[in-house]
Every structure is written in structure tokens, then in C-alpha cells.
Amino acid sequence: MKKALILVDFENEWIDKKSDYYVGNISGVIKKTSRLIDFCRKNGYKIIFTRHIEKGSEAFKENTKNVEIISGLYRKDDVLITKNKISPFYKTELGKELKGIKEIVICGILTNLCVRSLAEEAYDRDFQIIIIKDCCVALDKKTQAFTFKDLKITREEIEFINADEFVSEEN
């Protein structure tokens, strides 16, 4: 079965202490995500990154360092989808890039916005979905927990797992 790892908006904007969108120190999440990416690359997953560019805003501004993918995660042979809305599917090539793929693994920033939107829309497109919980970031733990709980209640087929469990289950 063809599989893809989709990494939602792992952009410098979130880790820039001067940004209004700074989410705090997420070095642990980035380290786990890097291991997840390495595992998926070795196992033949298609690697897809999304990045958000906000039109007419100083945050997530096109052609700035803050919309670049966090250093060390992205490779030139990975797919990079640029989006301008919360949905990674809206007016992008994501659907085309997922042609022939049945299972997607999702992680990213922010859990309650773009990650959630991707999961909901992928669910409606009949993908098998795994969300890597400890490779997702929300603005706070309460929002993160609520988002996972609500997705699980409303879409029972989605699997929620941590990175270490995913890597060991797949071996």
C-alpha cells in the first residue's frame, strides 16, 4: 500500500521568538518529527510538507525566512505544497500528490487549525489516517487535548499514536 507522511506548516514563524505566533520551545517535537521523517523516508513513504503563506500580512509573509521549513526537516526531493488558507487541500496540488495513496500519516502546527482541517478533509476523502500526537503542536495543552478528543469522537477510524509507538509498530 502506498503511504504518505504529511507535515503541516513546520515553518520558522512558529519558532521565531519575535513573532506573534511563537509557540514556545518545541525542540523536542522537532527532534521527534525528524526521527519520524527519517523512518518514513527509509520505508518508502512519500514525504509532503505544507507551508502557509498569508496574503497581505506581516506574519507568514511570502519570501521571508519565517515561511521557510524549519532547518533540517525538508529535503529538495520532498514535495512542498504552498497554501494560503487553513485547508491544505484548498486550491493546492495536495489531492493530485496523494493520487494512488491510501494511508496518510499527519503531524504539524497548529493542531487545532491546519492539522485538524487536513485530517477532516482527508477523512472525507476516505484516506486511512494516523495522527502522530507528539509531533503536533497547539498553542496550549488544553487545546491540543480537546482537538484530539473531538476528532476521535467524531471520526472514530482515525488512529492517534505517538512517534515512538508508530516507529516500533511499523517495524
Question: Tens of pLDDT along 2-34?
Answer: 999 999 999 999 999 999 999 999 999 999 999
Number of domains in the chain: 1
CA quadruple 42, 37, 58, 26: dihedral, nearest 10: -160
- Tell me the residue type at 89: F
- Residue 138's domain spans which residues? 3-170
Q: What pLDDT is stored for residue 170 in this prediction?
A: 59
Place of cell 514556545: 24
pLDDT-above-70 percentage for the chain: 98
- Identify whether the C-beta of residue 37 lies closer than 8 Å to the C-beta of residue 5: yes
Q: What is the mean pLDDT of residues 52-57?
A: 92
Q: What pLDDT is stored for residue 56 in this prediction?
A: 86
Q: Using N-to-C axis directions, what is the helix angle for 163-170 and 27-42, rounded to 10°?
A: 10
Domain harbouring 154, CATH code: 3.40.50.850
The tens digit of pLDDT for each residue in 58-83 reads 899 999 999 999 999 999 999 999 99
